[in-house]
Amino acid sequence: AQSVAQPEDQVNVAEGNPLTVKCTYSVSGNPYLFWYVQYPNRGLQFLLKYITGDNLVKGSYGFEAEFNKSQTSFHLKKPSALVSDSALYFCAVRDIGRGAGKSTFGDGTTLTVKP
């Protein structure tokens, strides 16, 4: 079975400070990992993904994430937070070994960036 954990329900940072949203995963094989963002009253939007290769992945809006296989983590980061980054963030995993298109999402982390 595949699973994702986002250990923090809420992350608060000041504008201009670096931010980290944590994600750990569990799969039986090699993972495909995704981050999505959800703004109020909107659907989820794709931010970035790790498939293979470089462990540091860069995505939309200045976000990046680091894949760490030994720690089974895929934390989302941004060097300098903006108030407009405030939203709900979801980590998702897809197990390559499953041979199917099903992804498992974490419970989400609410990011609040204060001016």
Nearest distance from C-beta of residue 115 to another protein, angstroms: 27
CB atoms within 10 A of CB 24: 18
Residue found under tokens 């293979």 = 52
Among 1, 54, 70, 101, binds another protein (CB under 8 A): 101
Q: Is 105 in the site for another protein (CB under 8 A)?
A: yes
Question: Which CB, 15 or 105, lies closer to another protein?
Answer: 105
Q: Residue 56: which H helix or E strand, with range? A: strand 56-58
Q: Are residues 94 and 3 in contact, defined by beta-carbon separation less than 8 angstroms?
A: no
Cα 77 vs. chain centroid, distance in angstroms?
Answer: 9
Contact 76, 50 (CB under 8 A): no
Q: How far is the CB of 83 from another protein (least distance, A)?
A: 23
Residue range at the interface with another protein (CB under 8 A); choices 11-19, 36-44, 63-71, 76-84: 36-44
Residue 112 lies near another protein (rule: CB under 8 A)? no
Residue ranges in contact with another protein by CB under 8 A: 32, 34, 36, 41-46, 49, 51, 90, 94, 96, 99-108
